[in-house]
Structure 1
Amino acid sequence: MARRTGSADLPLHNGRVPAWLAGRMATLGSVICQAIVEHYGRDELLCRLAHPFWFQSFGSVMGMDWHSSGITTSVIGALKRGLDPLKDELGIYVCGGRGRHSRRTPDELSVLGDRVGVDSEGLIRASRLVAKVDSAAVQDGFDLYLHGFFVTREGRWTVVQQGMNGEKRQARRYHWHSGSLSSFVDQPHAAIEGPAQGEIINLTDRRAEKSRSAQLDLLASLGPDRIVKELLSQSQPDSPAAPPSEQLSLLHLIMPDHHDLRSSDVFTRRLHATLAAAAEQGPVDFPELLLTPGVGARTVQSLAMVAEVVHGAPYRFQDPGRFSLALGGKDRQPFPVPIKVYDETITVLKSAMQKAKLGNSELLAALKRLDDQSRRLETSARGPSLETHIARERARSAEFGGLSVFGSESPETDETASS
């Protein structure tokens, strides 16, 4: 049975993803998904997408704003574009999206049913139900504007939705996963992510069963026009809010309002372990790679963080901001996107996947060893402070082809430039 596993504060951000980043996100996101499917299967990819901490880390490692709600839109859009050419090969299909794209979800699922033989009517019903639950049964002050539906050829699915509270400049993301569902209306969420808004109306909680039954009777006798009013009045006697002890047991990911990445946002020992693994294990596992022009230790550092996104256990994604240290951020936080490193990271990962398809998985295995080494070094590795590491990255930004929404970096770029 599904349960609520966590929540998080997500500040709203304006702006669009620039074309130079959107295309790279689609490619990198696609190859990361391929690696997960290759190692662990399609169902595991659905589980990852249903995990709010992993989802935020996934967006961060691709160069999006590490703390913002914009990760949701950009990740879903990137995967829809990047996985489309591989959808039949991988057996992973992405439907829906933001605004008008979300309203096309039923049509896309209907076409998918005709193409691959999945139960499109059941999937359409699931899509509509989760949207109704998050927009009506859970009244938490957020208006849904995004609905992403990920489905496998076997008919299993994950839904990622997001709502907005414009007045508070906050967003809440909702994750659903069919693999853990026994009921659409009895604690169905894999996780709800977003800012705490005090006491909310959540009729999906099992303690609201009496209230749900009463509302079904009301719907039959009074019609849909009065159901919201009655819903509010009927929910009071059976307050679904979890008791304090239960609330404290849930994970709560807080995405801060500050845009700069601070040491309080990162488990520094994990950063040190990643840097050490790249330095110690990288030359051992990638001797030929390191002889390739343009590929060096900095790319191996990026690959080590990508490897953690592919292989890491759930507990390792409690500090999503750390993954922005792989390829920076489009708003120059924590540092400009190092385009040369980004492209070399994609080149290595694509090469690893192509070789794996031909039966040679050594490069993929080497990436996994990087992740294994990082974990082994966590208790012993030492390194620079986060501030020192970011300063070094900014100082070398021009060398790595640094790019942000503010333009290209140069050696004379003012290091105090802000977003």
Structure 2
Amino acid sequence: MKTGIAHLPLHGGKAPSWLFQRMKRLAREITIAVVSEYGPQEMLRRLSDPFWFQAFGCVLGFDWHSSGVTTTTCGALKEGMKGLEVELGLFIAGGKGGTSRKTPSEIIRAGGHLSCDPEKLVYASRMSAKVDSSAVQDGYQLYHHAFIFTKSGDWAVVQQGMNDASKYARRYHWLGSRVANFVVEPHQAICCDSRGDTLNMVAVASEEARQSAVILSQLKPGVLVGEIKKIQHLHLPSRHHVDIRDIHPDRLYKIFVKTYEQAPENFESLLGMEGVGPKTIRALALISEIVYGKSPSFHDPVRYSFAHGGKDGHPYPVDREVYDRTIEIFRNALRQAKVGNNEKVDA
């Protein structure tokens, strides 16, 4: 289940090395503390909470509000956990840009340490990305995907998309233990300052449109292309925030051939097909309303703290001495806990 969405202004640049090295060490100690006390599933739950994640990034000393807090915090967590994955029973795959495409191979590589089928985790990773890029079309192009999972197969996702026009990024959080259905209301809570023009094919209100899309995907490609060409001459109501002008019927023909030949049995299998992306889903949603009168939902599913300052000096510059002392306090507390003294951990 998606547990939240955060909106963050797009900022360029990266964390300076002196800060990132400290972020790695502190992220490592905090993760050890949480997993040791509550188990790896609790760390997944916390990372899937957009507010806890934001506070986590602030505690690590990065920007309190920019898009970079997502990529840098996940990067620090992944680097900080290296060598501890098997011991903690907690793994993290993926990352920003090209690194996100390595997620499946990284999951498979950890397969020998898992008590579940890693292919199920690969599927969860792929479908969570497909939902936020194709089934929910809110104008944000995904460029970061972090997949965190345990030995037993529990998982969480922290992924982010950017909107060049608004200069904002939108972060999506998922918690696998709450996913009952990838394509029916996977969002539990959404945190955002604004709502956009969105095609939401995973809303409850889109159920009939989902069913119609599956039926349409099984029709001969020529029929579908013909319907799209008809739509391009219609004047749709202003409430429809799906622009038909950027859909090219002839370019979709090959995709429709594939859906016709494979005949997906439901919307999830249709969405999961290779090559089926935002434009295919958008075209089927439009045809669904024109042919069957089944309208999809256009409702946007959108429904901090400072410990060490921020790299840009807001709300104040990072105090390196205080930061190093915090890391040492965590390290000593955990060392004491191992010999039975929990007072420092509680503090």
TM-score under structure 1 normalisation?
0.65
Q: Does 2:284 match 1:230?
A: yes
Structure 2: 5+ residue runs without aligned partners?
A: 222-255, 260-275
Identity %: 44
Which aligned pairs between 1:136-215 and structure 2 lie closer than 5 A? 136-194=134-192, 196-215=194-213
Q: How far has the Cα of 1:181 moved from its partner?
A: 1.0
Matched residue, 1:79 = 77
Which aligned pairs between 1:239-388 and structure 2 lie closer than 5 A? 239-241=296-298, 250=303, 320=304, 323-324=305-306, 326-365=307-346, 367=347
SS at match of 1:198: coil
Which aligned pairs between 1:86-101 and structure 2 lie closer than 5 A? 86-101=84-99
Matched residue, 2:112 = 114
Match of 1:41, as an amino acid? G
SS at match of 2:82: helix
Q: How far has the Cα of 1:199 moved from its partner?
A: 3.4
Match of 1:238, as an amino acid? S
Higher deviation after alignment, 206-215 or 233-242:
233-242
The CA distance in 2 between the partners of 1:336 and 1:170, in whole Å, is: 24
RMSD of aligned C-alpha atoms? 2.1
Q: 1:5 to 1:118 in 2, by over 3 A?
A: closer
The CA distance in 2 between the partners of 1:117 and 1:194, in whole Å, is: 37
Match of 1:351, as an amino acid? N
Q: How far has the Cα of 1:191 moved from its partner?
A: 4.3
SS at match of 1:334: coil
SS at match of 2:130: helix
Matched residue, 1:15 = 13
Q: 1:95 to 1:193 in 2, by over 3 A?
A: farther
Contact 2:46 2:52 in 1 (8 A): yes
Matched residue, 1:295 = none
Q: 1:72 to 1:205 in 2, by over 3 A?
A: same
SS at match of 2:91: strand
Matched residue, 2:215 = 217
Structure 1: 5+ residue runs without aligned partners?
A: 251-319, 368-419
The CA distance in 1 between the partners of 2:87 and 2:174, in whole Å, is: 24
TM-score under structure 2 normalisation?
0.78
Match of 1:228, as an amino acid? R
Q: How far has the Cα of 1:116 moved from its partner?
A: 3.0
Contact 1:207 1:240 in 2 (8 A): yes
The CA distance in 2 between the partners of 1:5 and 1:91, in whole Å, is: 22
- Matched length: 288
Contact 2:113 2:151 in 1 (8 A): no
Q: How far has the Cα of 1:220 moved from its partner?
A: 2.8
Contact 1:177 1:189 in 2 (8 A): no
Matched residue, 2:121 = 123
Runs of 4+ off more than 4 Å: 4-7, 190-195, 224-227
The CA distance in 1 between the partners of 2:127 and 2:201, in whole Å, is: 13
